[in-house]
């Protein structure tokens, strides 16, 4: 098995694979570009298993590079194009990359980032695209359990780690996701998530596998553009993280646009508060909403909640996807009873074999009981899983373990708010005082006292934020998730508070 063939050989030659700006690239052109890049990499005389970085925004070149590297039995190392030169150099050094496939746009912007390795750019594609010829694409086989990709974690709870993702992992996760989503060759997915992020990579894998079309959108900094593009391109699939949907619902015309072509909405990458799920259902009743849960260490997806169960099991991440077993284990590492609280563990063929060059981190995360996710959850009497919070995001206040997600969900019942993030700030009396950062919808006016009052109406006293801070925009990491580490830095720097609540 070679995962490059698995992903790219289904699409019909004349069908559109990638829409990148004003260009539409067919599957024949994608395979030709990948073959051309594979030829360029072959001249470097690297051994199978060599690591090759990919750097740049989502693009036709990015996808062709990804396929070319894996085709040759080498390991693709997608890097964030949002970081600094030092970040890129650190990642390249951490996994000992031998070369890098770099978008010319990024190279002009930051040539120093890849000055330690051999670089191949999208220049080499021009001739093959202009000529329309199809370079030789040899049959290759690769050991299924060999590494195909090293994906860096988002680093929301610590330093990023390089996760080993095998050819078997990708095939298993891809087929499972396709089966429960019911993806089709006729689908057109609008992609706002970067391919270096496991969620974005799963969109790439699944849609290529069924021969569908990926419409690339690298301008989510202007979310109204995304709402417009979704309608103009007649997209059938849209996927995002919680911050994506919060912006789309409360800061764009997304909810008011008809989008009749939209049939599947995918939400993962963190918990979207129940009130936002209800708004999304009301805004797009004709589309099926799949609430999902996953981790980089699981290739991508671990669970999903069937759309038919959304209202009955509101707030749940559902059950394991086909092929994956989820268990919620207590401190004794035994399954908890219904209503009991424990940590989620996962088993299945899409679980990574571990971290690259980190045996201690691997043994801590990949245990005999399964992948230790770090998420605390409860299970109901029907076996549906409800996440309470990340283990590292609980706030220890007044002797209680407070779920930051519950505080955020209470605040977001206010339609004037776009996003909310709760953190604990060291406090001599409470241990940690709850500080809530919020952003406000365009044109809305709200006081921080009103936010505190709204939280007080639905939360017990020990969960009510001591202080509320209004900021212009949430700090996001490269994957689009709220970066709570940066909010903790803001709080530690004693940023002026918009208002304070004495508790």
Distance between CA atoms of 411 and 418, rounded to whole angstroms? Answer: 10
Q: Over range 28-54, report the average pLDDT.
A: 94
pLDDT for 496 beyond 60: no
Q: Over range 186-215, report the average pLDDT.
A: 97
Compute the C-alpha angle 276/280/286, nearest 5°: 160
Split at pLDDT 50, 70, 90, the class of 494 is low
pLDDT for 503 beyond 70: no
pLDDT tens digits, one per residue of 85-109: 999 999 999 999 999 999 988 888 8
- H/E segment holding residue 456: helix 448-458
Instruction: Spell out the SS3 assignment of 280-348.
Output: HHHHCCCCEEEEEEECHHHCCEEEEECHHHCCCCCCCCEEECCCCEEEEECCCCCECCCCCEEEEEEEC
Distance between CA atoms of 76 and 451, rounded to whole angstroms? Answer: 46
Query: In the chain, what percentage of residues exceed pLDDT 90?
Result: 75
pLDDT tens digits, one per residue of 106-129: 888 888 889 899 999 999 888 777
Distance between CA atoms of 468 and 433, rounded to whole angstroms? Answer: 11
Going by C-alpha positions, the residue among 287, 346, 357 that lies closest to residue 320 is 346
pLDDT for 300 beyond 70: yes
pLDDT tens digits, one per residue of 400-417: 788 888 999 999 999 999
pLDDT tens digits, one per residue of 368-391: 999 999 999 999 999 999 998 877
Which tokens is 4 given?
A: 């490059």
Compute the C-alpha angle 350/355/357, nearest 5°: 150
pLDDT tens digits, one per residue of 273-285: 999 999 999 999 9
Going by C-alpha positions, the residue among 452, 303, 445 that lies closest to residue 385 is 303
Alpha-carbon separation of residue 294 from 177, 407, 428 (angstroms):
11, 22, 37
Q: Give counts: helices (H), strands (E), the chain.
A: 15, 27
> How far is the first Cα of the chain from the last one, in angstroms, to the nearest whole number?
60
pLDDT for 501 beyond 50: no
Distance between CA atoms of 272 and 465, rounded to whole angstroms? Answer: 20
pLDDT value of residue 203: 98
Distance between CA atoms of 28 and 129, rounded to whole angstroms? Answer: 10
pLDDT: is 314 or 503 the higher one? Answer: 314
pLDDT tens digits, one per residue of 211-246: 999 999 998 888 999 999 999 999 999 999 999 999
Name, in order, each residue with C-beta under 8 angstroms of 488's C-beta and a sequence gap of 6 or more: 423, 425
Class (C level, CATH) for 394-500: alpha beta
Domain ranges of the chain: 1-9+23-142, 394-500
Which tokens is 456 given?
A: 């007080």
pLDDT value of residue 158: 55
By mean pLDDT, which of 157-161, 312-316, 344-348 is the weakest? 157-161
Name, in order, each residue with C-beta under 8 angstroms of 86's C-beta and a sequence gap of 6 or more: none
Split at pLDDT 50, 70, 90, the class of 316 is very high
Rounded to 10 degrees, what is the CA torsion of 475, 473, 192, 284?
Answer: 130
Compute the C-alpha angle 274/404/364, nearest 5°: 110
Rounded to 10 degrees, what is the CA torsion of 393, 149, 364, 240?
Answer: 20
Distance between CA atoms of 4 and 360, rounded to whole angstroms? Answer: 31
CATH code at 1-9+23-142: 3.40.50.980
Contact, 24 vs 189, CB < 8 A?
no
Which pTM was predicted? 0.88
pLDDT tens digits, one per residue of 462-487: 899 999 999 999 998 888 888 888 89
Contact, 333 vs 372, CB < 8 A?
no
Distance between CA atoms of 106 and 445, rounded to whole angstroms? Answer: 39
Q: Over range 126-145, report the average pLDDT.
A: 78
Q: Which residue has the tokens 């009130």?
A: 275
- Estimate the crossing angle of helix 60-71 against helix 198-209, to 10 degrees: 80
Split at pLDDT 50, 70, 90, the class of 299 is very high
Which tokens is 263 given?
A: 């049939």
pLDDT value of residue 155: 58
Q: What is the DSSP-derived secondary structure letter of residue 196?
A: T
Q: Over range 60-76, report the average pLDDT.
A: 97
């Amino acid at each position: 098995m070679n995962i490059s063939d698995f992903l790219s050989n289904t699409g019909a030659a004349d069908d559109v694979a990638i829409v990148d700006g004003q260009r539409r690239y067919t599957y024949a052109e994608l395979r030709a570009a990948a073959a051309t890049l594979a030829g360029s990499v072959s001249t470097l005389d690297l051994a199978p298993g060599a690591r090759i970085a990919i750097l740049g925004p989502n693009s036709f070149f990015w996808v062709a590079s990804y396929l070319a590297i894996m085709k040759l039995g080498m390991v693709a190392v997608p890097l964030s194009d949002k970081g600094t030169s030092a970040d890129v150099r650190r990642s390249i050094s951490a996994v000992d990359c031998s070369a890098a496939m770099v978008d010319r746009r990024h190279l002009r912007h930051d040539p120093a980032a890849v000055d330690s390795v051999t670089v191949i750019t999208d220049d080499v594609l021009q001739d093959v695209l202009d000529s329309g010829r199809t370079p030789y694409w040899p049959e290759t086989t690769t050991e299924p359990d060999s590494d195909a990709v090293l994906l860096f974690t988002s680093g929301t709870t610590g330093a990023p780690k390089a996760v080993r993702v095998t050819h078997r992992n990708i095939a298993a996760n891809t087929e499972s996701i396709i089966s429960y989503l019911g993806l089709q060759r006729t689908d057109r997915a609008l992609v706002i998530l970067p391919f270096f992020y496991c969620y974005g990579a799963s969109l790439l894998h699944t849609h290529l596998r069924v021969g569908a079309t990926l419409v690339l959108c690298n301008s989510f900094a202007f979310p109204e553009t995304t709402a417009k593009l979704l309608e103009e391109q007649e997209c059938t699939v849209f996927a995002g993280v919680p911050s994506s949907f919060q912006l789309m619902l409360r800061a764009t015309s997304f909810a008011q646009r008809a989008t009749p072509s939209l049939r599947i909405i995918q939400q993962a990458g963190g918990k979207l508060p129940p009130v936002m799920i209800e708004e999304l259902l009301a805004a797009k009743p004709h589309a099926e909403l799949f609430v999902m849960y996953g981790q980089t260490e699981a290739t991508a997806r671990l669970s999903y909640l069937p759309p038919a169960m959304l209202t009955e099991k509101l707030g749940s991440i559902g059950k394991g996807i086909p092929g994956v077993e989820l268990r919620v284990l207590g401190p004794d590492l035994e399954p908890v009873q219904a209503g009991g609280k424990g940590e989620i563990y996962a088993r299945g063929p899409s679980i990574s074999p571990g971290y690259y060059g980190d045996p201690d981190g691997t043994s801590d995360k990949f245990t005999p009981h399964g992948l230790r996710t770090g998420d605390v959850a409860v299970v109901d009497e029907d076996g549906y899983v409800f996440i309470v919070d990340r283990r590292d995001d609980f706030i220890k206040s007044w002797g209680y373990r407070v779920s930051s997600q519950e505080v955020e969900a209470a605040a977001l019942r206010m339609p004037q708010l776009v996003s909310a993030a709760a953190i604990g700030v060291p406090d001599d009396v409470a241990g940690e005082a709850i500080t809530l950062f919020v952003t406000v919808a365009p044109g809305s006016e709200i006081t921080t006292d009103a936010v505190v009052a709204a939280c007080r109406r639905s939360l017990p006293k020990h969960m009510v934020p001591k202080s509320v801070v209004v900021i212009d925009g949430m700090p996001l990491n490269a994957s689009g998730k709220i970066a709570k580490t940066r909010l903790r830095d803001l709080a530690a720097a004693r940023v002026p508070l918009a208002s304070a609540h004495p508790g």
